Amino acid sequence: MSDDILESLDWRGAPVDCTVCAHRDRRLDPGTAALPSGGKLDGRCLPLKACVQDRYAKRIQRFFEWNPDLSADHLDHPYFEVRANAARFAPIFQLPRLMSDPDETVRSVLARRLPRRLLLKLRDDPDREVRIAVASRLEDADLAPLMRDRDCSVRLRVVRRIPDGMLPAMMHDEDPEVRVEVARRLSMDWLPSLAWDDSPRVRLVVAQRLPPSKLHVLQQDTDWMVRLAVAGRIDAGQLGPLLDDPEEEVRAIARQRAAGFAAGLTIANDLPPL
């Protein structure tokens, strides 16, 4: 429960004065207060530990953890950290009035608590962190508008949550990081289409997932890491140009596998017929 900041200032930078606080009746004496094993004192506040007047976010949060009954009374506080932390503990029916709060921290808290019908209204929030929080909770068709979000971090969260059937719609996303996630989840019916993706990272995922019999489309890929993945997985009888690949590591694994394949054929041909 130790805090790094050993001063008690309010959100305007003035020293916290417990004598004028509306909750001074809940104040514990720092010199005599003994915290229980769980570190929580219901219905109490403690200077430098749990204080709604303090500008330090941890102390504000701890105040509402100890005093959730006071959270609804602070949803209109001028300091955004107070509003945000009060919103974590206030009854849900009290939260809609904060949906247009000027601070994104407050709206992000709402995005983690509001029911679906209200959460949908935050899909167009101007702040990406709010939209990421929204995408983390919505499901299926509700995520469709966020598939074309202007921020790649939002789309990345979306592509990890949408149903498999919606993934082809994101195959041509402008961000390679998003397309990598698409390649990791895409069904085998669609995956070969990404073998010609502009990003070698996407093609590498394709090379790691395609069935060995279909890897010939990547044998002459421009990226040696992709060809290395192909050389290690393709059917040994299809190694072809990889045996003379310009990259030593690719040639080595291709020739090693080819030699093992040839040895296996020799043993098979030497066996007496059944």
pLDDT tens sequence for the chain (274 residues): 455 567 889 899 999 999 999 999 999 876 655 565 566 667 789 999 999 999 999 999 999 999 999 999 999 999 999 999 999 999 999 999 999 999 999 999 999 999 999 999 999 999 999 999 999 999 999 999 999 999 999 999 999 999 999 999 999 999 999 999 999 999 999 999 999 999 999 999 999 999 999 999 999 999 999 999 999 999 998 999 999 999 999 999 999 999 987 776 555 444 445 4
Q: What amino acid is encoded at 255 in this protein? A: R
- Give the span between the Cα atoms of 193 and 202, in whole angstroms: 11
Domain contains 242: no
- Give the span between the Cα atoms of 23 and 224, in whole angstroms: 67
Is residue 47 classed exposed, middle or buried when 0-12, 13-18 and 19+ CB atoms within 10 A define those classes?
middle
Token pair, residue 60, equals: 């504000």
Contact residues for 170 (Cβ-Cβ < 8 A; gap 6+)? 147, 155, 158, 159, 162, 178, 179, 182
Contact present, 250 and 231 (Cβ < 8 Å) = yes
Domain contains 154: no
Total domain count for the chain?
1
Token pair, residue 51, equals: 């204080």
- Give the span between the Cα atoms of 229 and 247, in whole angstroms: 13
Question: Position of tokens 């809940």?
Answer: 26
Contact present, 147 and 172 (Cβ < 8 Å) = no
pLDDT at 274: 47
Query: pTM for the whole thing?
Result: 0.84
pLDDT at 28: 86
- Give the span between the Cα atoms of 212 and 230, in whole angstroms: 8
Domain contains 260: no
pLDDT at 3: 52
Inter-helix orientation angle 152-159/176-185, to 10°: 0
- Give the span between the Cα atoms of 224 and 229, in whole angstroms: 9
pLDDT at 271: 45
Residue 198's DSSP bridge partners are: none
Taking the CB of residue 151, how many other CB atoms lie within 10 A of it? Answer: 15
- Give the span between the Cα atoms of 86 and 30, in whole angstroms: 24
Domain contains 198: no
Domain, as residue range, for 22: 7-31+39-90
- Give the span between the Cα atoms of 6 and 112, in whole angstroms: 31
Domain contains 180: no
Closest CA to 115 of 83, 138, 147, 90: 138
pLDDT at 34: 57
Domain contains 18: yes
Domain contains 195: no
Domain contains 110: no
Quote the Cα angle for 11-12-16, to 5°.
70
